[in-house]
Structure 1
Amino acid sequence: MNKVIETILNHRSLRQFEDKPLTDEQIKTIVSCAQAASTSSFIQAYTIIGIKDIEKKRKLSEIAGNQEHAAKNGHLLIFCADLYRHTIIGEQEQKDVTVSVESTEKFMVAMIDAALAAQNAALAAESMGLGICYIGGIRNNLEEVKKLLKTPERVIPLFGIAVDYPTYITGQKQRLPFEHVYHVDEYQQDAETYLRQLKDYDEVISSYYNERTGGKRKDRWTEQIAAMLERQSRMDMKGFVQKNKLDLQ
C-alpha cells in the first residue's frame, strides 16, 4: 500500500486545531492541488475563496451553527460553484451562452467540478500532516454568505473546508460495507440482502458510538439518517439557486 492510499484510507473529520495560520506556500500548494482535479470539458466551473479575516470566520461560524472549528483554524477555504466567469467569457467572445449557463446540466457540472477540486484539496492538506473538516453549514443562510463574500450572480458558495494542525485525532467511523456500495454490472436490488447489510452496519455504528461516548450514545446508522431526513432543512435552496440565475432551464 503506497502513501497516497494510506492517506486516503486514514481520513477522518477533525475539529480541534492549533489555530495556527497556514503559510502562503501551504495555501498555494493546497489550491494548486485542487486545480489539478479533473474538470468537465475543461470548463473549470468553480472558485475557491480563502478566508483569513478573523471576523469573517466568526460570522461564517455563526451561520454554520456556531461550529468552533469554522472560526478557529489555520485557514478556511470556501468552495463555490461558479458560472459567472463563463457569462463574462460569452460577452468577451460575443457568443450567447445564457441557455447553456442556466441549464441543469451546467449546474451539475459546476457542483461536480467544485466537489472534485475540494477533495483534491483535502487530500493534499492531509498528506501535509494537516487536519481538515468540511463545513456544509454555511448553506444554512446563503443570502448572508453571499453578502459576506460578495459573490456575484451565477456563483453559489457550497461548503467550506477548515484546515489546520490537529490537536486531537478522533476515531474513524467505518463506512458502509463494500458489497453494499459496489455493485457489479447493474444495481443489485435483492431486498433481503440489502436490509441484512444495513442491519449489520447498524450494529457496527452503534458499537462505535457506544464505545466512543462511554455508553451515552449507541444509535443505529439507519435511525440517525432517517431522523435527519425527516427534519426538513434548507428548503429554500431551489429559490436561492434560481435567484442567482442557475438551473433555470
Structure 2
Amino acid sequence: MSRPLVIIPSDTKVIEGLTFDAVGRKYSTAVAEVAECQPLLVPLDTALTDIGAILEIADAILLSGSVSNVHPSLYGTEDPLRPETMDPARDNVTIPLIRTAVDNKIPLFAICRGYQELNVAMGGSLHQAVHDQPHLNDHRENPKLVMDDRFGPAHPIKLDDELRSWIGKDQIIVNSLHGQGIARLAERLRPQAYAEDGLVEAVLGPKDHPFCLGVQWHPEWHAKNNPVSIELFRRFGDAARKISSS
C-alpha cells in the first residue's frame, strides 16, 4: 500500500542569481520518518501551481517554517519592517491553499511561518516584531550559536485543552526561532498553548476538522528523538492515512 501524500509548499530561494523552489530537508524528513508519509514539494510560481489539482492528490498538507515573513498587507495596512524578508510568491500560494484545505477538511500541520500563515489566512493578525512589544519577550534565536544550540530548548509553554491531553503534560519546553507572532487570534482557531509572556504558541482549527494544528516552535528538529514531536507527527500521519484510505 502506498504511503499517504503530504504536500509541502516551497519557499523562494535565490542562489547565485537563480530562483529556486526549496524546503528545508528537516521538514520532509520528519514527514517521511515520523509521520510515515510521502512528502511532495510544490513550486510557488502561480503559473505552476493549481490549488485544485494539489488538493485532488493531497492526503495532507504541511506548512514549513522559513526565514521569510508573511506580508503585512495580508493582515493590515502596515508596511513591512523588513522588506527583504518578504516572500509574496509563497503567500500567494499558501494563503488560498490554507483556506481551501480548512474548508475541505484536509489534514494540515502548520509550523512557525506556516503557523503564522494559518492565523492570517483565517482572519487573524501578527506582530511584525514580537521583541518590540513592551509586554512580550524576545523569541528570536541567537544567530551566533551553532545550529543544534539555536534549535535547542528555549522556554516553557503551558499546554491547554486538547493539546494537553495529546501530550499528557501541562507544560513542555520548546525551541524558539521567530520574530513574528500572533497579535489577534483568528476566530475559527482555538488556542492550545501559551508562552510565559502570554503569546499564543499553538492552535487547533475548527472542532469538526480531522487535524488542523499550528505550532510556533519547530517540532521537525530531530523529530524522531523528541517525544512531543513524535506524538504530533504521528497524529498528523494517522489523519493523512484516514484520508488516503477513504
TM-score bracket for the superposition, by shorter chain length: under 0.3
Instruction: Tell me which protein shows more helix as a share of its residues.
Output: 1
Provide the TM-score with structure 1 as the length reference.
0.27
Greater strand percent: which structure?
2
Larger Rg: 1
Give TM-score scaled by structure 2 length: 0.27
Higher relative contact order (CA 8 A, sep 6+): 1
